[in-house]
Structures are given as structure tokens and as C-alpha cells.
Structure 1
């Protein structure tokens, strides 16, 4: 096994097992993580074998978008998780029960993924539910930032109990804009003072990671938050965040504001992002690995390394027998019907 420190790129793979090209790329010193998608999943046994093979190559962070609701990459063989809005609605009916449900959902989410070798999920969504967003919608807990802080905090407690860190997204807030940054470039034209509610979860929650948004906030910069050293500096020095800053996927339409993929990774890294996601663009990954020669910041690698230093997780069979897990499953079942 190679003991290279984790590099600043998180890339994807083509299928349900590693190809020779995948192995070569995953051992490149610029790579520090792998993001998995539904196309990389056939069944739990296959996923367990795939993650074991990846981890055997070198210490790499294996991540997935596994929030619940419509954003859950692995379904058959995993518990169906509710959209976060369902937890927010439970909180409105009974605050204590809602917080307990959030904790149980976080625990089930993390414990199931860890038992199959996945290290990290890009959750919780901290965006406020303003209503008209085409991409956030029921992925958000609530409109009230106080409720979002409480529920995301409880979900984070469950994630950590299940052996996983947290990743708040999408900094500094994607809930207000209507367009979907996967296919368009949203612009939020509010003054910074009007974004206090959106920023509150980032100020108050003990997050391990933050994912920056492909949204332009005209109060601050002409670049999206991902490419803005002003926003990343604000996150570090005003919000006082010390964890890993991830970009959202640099293949998204909202990332096109700075040019081709080489320009995107250079700009995001220069802005202060620690880990840069290049997804669904295998040719672009090759171009970046061949053409990008950054001066690697050891402090950024060390932050990523901390996400990998979780305690060993129980395997699937052991997990099934745990009373805590069975009780949490009953809660989740009640939320999903």
C-alpha cells in the first residue's frame, strides 16, 4: 500500500469494479479521494469489495452523496432514508421527537455506509428552505435557521455515533436562488446582511467539512463561492471554520465561469479549497493529472487526513444485531412510511 498523503483531487470511477486506468489514477499523488455514484453500486457485497480494493491501494477518502430522499446513491440493500424536510416537519409537530429522529437518521446513514467501507457522506444540507429553489426543495430541513441548526446538529451527532464526520453544504447558502447550479449559473443578489440566516448554521455547528456552492453572491465577488478567495477567507477567518473545504462538482455548469477543467482546479485551489471534486468527466481528469502541477499545501492534506482517521466500523452482520441500530431503524421507518 502506498502511504502518500491525500492529494487535493477527488475523482470518480467508471463502473462497479476498478479498471487498470482507475488504479493508476487513484495512486496519483494529486488524488486524495473517490466519490461513488449509483453506477458504481450493484449490491452490498460488490460495494464492500470495491471499497476494500480502493482502500488497499492507499489511504483515500471514499465519499458519496447519501443524504436521504431523492439524493441517496445506494438504495437496494440500504435503508431508505427520508428527505430532510420530513424531519423538519416532525420537529414542528414535536421538537424533542424531531431531534431524536434526526439523530437516528444520521446514525443509520453513517453506520450502514461505514459497514460497507464508505468513509464519508456529503451531508447535512444546511440550505434554508425559501421555497422556489429548483435543486434544494425538500433536501432542506426548514426555513428557520434555528431549526436548521438544531436538526443538523442532531443529525451530526448521529453521524459521529455511526463513525462519520459531517459536511455542511452548500456554503454560504443555495436555498434562496431559483436556478439549479448543475445546469445554470445562479446569482444571489442580496446584500451580505440579508444572508445572516443562511450563514448562521456554519457559524454555530461543529462541522468537519464544508462544501462551497457554485453560486455568485454579488455582494461579495464576481466569482462563485468555490472560486472566491474572499468567500473562503471569510469562512476561515470570520466564520472560524477549521475543517476541510470541498468544492461542489467542478463539472457542473455553474463552474464554467472560469473556463476549462484545468482553469477550474487551479482557481479553486488558489481560492483556498482543500479538496476539488472532478466528476463525470474522465477525459478532464486525465488532462488535470497530466497538466496541473500545484505546490501542495501539507496543512490541507492534514485536514483531509483527519477525515480518514475514524475508528474501525462494525461489519454489516454485527451492525444488524445492535439494539441501537434496530431502534433507529424503527424511527426511520416511521418517517418514510
Structure 2
């Protein structure tokens, strides 16, 4: 299976090379303006990732947005607005994955040729969470995969990665590292198990396979959805207090992030009692706010402030800010995007992709008003660019 997958990858890379050598279509006005902008001299102390961050504030903010697109036209419109990432939802036209000249690889050849690299992500765990299987392949549920030999686990990660990368996708929102401790249905066979050490073992093998195929794995959902009161797709959900999560649910993250610092982490929407940001009055905090909007959740992750934790300087992406009641019952998408970036998210994700120009403007206004420090936007944009560099984009 691995030999076949490697052959497919080689073919895909050859196809990408051929595409990049063919004449590209005339760029849109937005792309042309970006291409014609004067290039500032880069100081020697600036990293390659920092050098790729747009200097214009609106373009910089736009590079933090990951939006759902249903077809080629929507993808072009999002890229013309400067979106730094696309997510391919289940309702997308599969032609976006394979139609020559109108697929993701064609868009990469066009926009990348004008200095506009972008990320493309998908939810592809195997089992009940895998998109467009008739194009990308059908794989066993993670819980079943966990019971197979190590070479099958890593080989499955590799085969998934090869299929994704061949079709223009460079980020997989997998594996799930939530612990299945109370039988929550939304977790179930998506989880690798209930023992943190076993979750680390299987997630590590699977993630290595993805990385070998030049696809970024994403560990989710920090700080742990396994014991939430419900499914954040359908309701506000509350976990046990943060000290209980520290004792178990966060355990997989330290070993995995130590081994895979180039991975990303998805911040969940769970409300965690006791997760109170510094300077906030607990008496005014109520039950709390979703972790995706909570600066303390990002601080704990960044500093590795949990047993076995390590500092993490990679990309943190939010869970969906448009399609889940666990966030929409708390804040509308434009407000949630603004607050998530201000709290510490590097990428704000919303699967509907709606209102992208307006939401960019909302965040820009927040930066100009001092609600979000420009340094927060700069560090996020740099991490996004570094992740693209890490997978050769």
C-alpha cells in the first residue's frame, strides 16, 4: 500500500511541476496589485516566514482567515480577498478537487506564482469524519485503526496524506486526541482510546504518516472535549474544571507537540470552569466563555502549562466559528472571529465562508482601535507562513 501511495505522490508532484511551468491565466486585479507592489528590502534578522507576511494591515489580517468554499468561483473570490486558508467542507463541489484548470492545484499555480501561497484544509479522520471519499479514498474509523499494527497506522496516515496532497490539500484536521472517558457520542470511535499513552502512540504514528506525505496534522480539540456536557455542534458545552482536565485530558498534547512542533492544534469551543484569564474578576466571569475565545486557554497551550506540557509556537486554529451552536449561542461569527484572534488564535475558521470582506474589516478596525495589538496579528501571520514553508508551499 505504501509503495503505491509513494508512486501516487510522485505523480502528483510531477503534475504540480507541469502545472507550474505552464502559462498562468491573467490574474485578477487584486492579485495583480499585490504582484506590482514594491518589495521592501528584508533586514538580515528577519526570518523567511516573517519576510512573507504582507505589510498591508488588511492583507495581513486576511491571511489569518480560513474559510469554507463550495466551488472554484468561491475559492477564487476568497483568495482575491486575501484569505490565507480555505477549508473544503462536505458540501463542496468535488470538481474543486480534480477538474483540470479549475481545481485547487490550478489555483495554487496561479496565486502562488504571484507570491500568494495559501493553505487548504479538510476534516479527514477516517470513519464517520472523512470528506469526498469517492475522490480521496475511504479509510477505517480511528478507533478501529488503533487496533492495527504500527505499520498499518503510519501507512494509513501516509496514504491519506498522499491523497490529500495530490488534490491540493496540505492540512488535515486530524487526529482527534480527545480521551473517550464518558462515552460521549460525538467523540466515540473518532477517539483513539481512553488511555493517554495509547492515544499518544497511535496519534504519533498516524501524524508521522501525514508529515511524510507533506501534510500538516492537527491535534484536536484542546483542552479536551472527551468529558464535555454535550456536543458543541449543537449546544454550549461545559467540561469538568480545568484542574481535572489538566490531570487527564491535556496529557496527549505535551508528548505529541514535543515530537511534532510543526503540527497545528485546534482550539475547541468547550467552556472550562476555572479557566479565567489573568486580570479578569472570577466573580464577573460566570460559567465562563468558550475556550476558542478565552485567552487563558491559549496561554496554557503556548506555555505548556499542564502536566508534561511543552511550549508551543505553532499554528493554533479555532474550531468552526459559523456552523456550531457551541459558539453561535455565545457570539455571532464576526464577533467570534475578532475575539478569537485577539485571544490568541492564529487562524479563525468558519466553514460557511460568509461575509469574508466584512469580517476582515471588523478585525482591521479592532486592530486600528487598539482592541487587538498589532503584535498579536504579526505573530499569528508569521506562524501561518512558517507552516506553509514547513510543507514546501
TM-score normalised over the length of structure 1:
0.82
| 1:279 alignment counterpart | 351
Alpha-carbon deviation of 1:67? 1.0
Q: Distance in 2 between matches of 1:259 and 1:212?
A: 16
Q: 1:10 to 1:180 in 2, by over 3 A?
A: same
SS, match of residue 121 in structure 2: strand
| 2:87 alignment counterpart | 35
Q: 1:272 to 1:47 in 2, by over 3 A?
A: farther
RMSD value, Cα: 2.2
- 1:14 aligns with one of 50, 58, 70: 70
Q: How many residues align?
A: 301
| 2:363 alignment counterpart | 292
Matched, 1:196 2:247: yes
Map 1:142-221 → 2, pairs under 5 A: 142-206=193-257, 207=260, 208-221=263-276
Conserved? CA contact 2:317–2:347, under 8 Å? yes
Which deviates the most, 144-153 or 175-184?
175-184
Map 1:20-59 → 2, pairs under 5 A: 22-29=75-82, 31-42=83-94, 45-46=98-99, 49-55=102-108, 56-57=110-111, 58-59=116-117
Larger Rg: 2
Alpha-carbon deviation of 1:133? 1.3
Q: Distance in 1 between matches of 2:239 and 2:216?
A: 29
Q: Distance in 2 between matches of 1:131 and 1:49?
A: 45
| 2:382 alignment counterpart | 302
Q: Point out where structure 1 has 5 or more consecutive residues left out of the alignment.
A: 91-96, 314-337
Which deviates the most, 295-304 or 2-11?
2-11
| 2:332 alignment counterpart | 260
Q: Distance in 1 between matches of 2:160 and 2:360?
A: 33
Which deviates the most, 292-301 or 31-40?
292-301
SS, match of residue 270 in structure 1: helix
- 1:243-269 superposed Cα distances (whole Å, 9 cap, x missing partner): 101000011111135422221111111
Q: Distance in 2 between matches of 1:311 and 1:256?
A: 33
- 1:24-47 superposed Cα distances (whole Å, 9 cap, x missing partner): 432324x21000112224255228
Alpha-carbon deviation of 1:116? 1.3
SS, match of residue 82 in structure 1: coil
Alpha-carbon deviation of 1:180? 1.1
Alpha-carbon deviation of 1:48? 8.0
Conserved? CA contact 2:225–2:270, under 8 Å? yes
Matched, 1:132 2:204: no
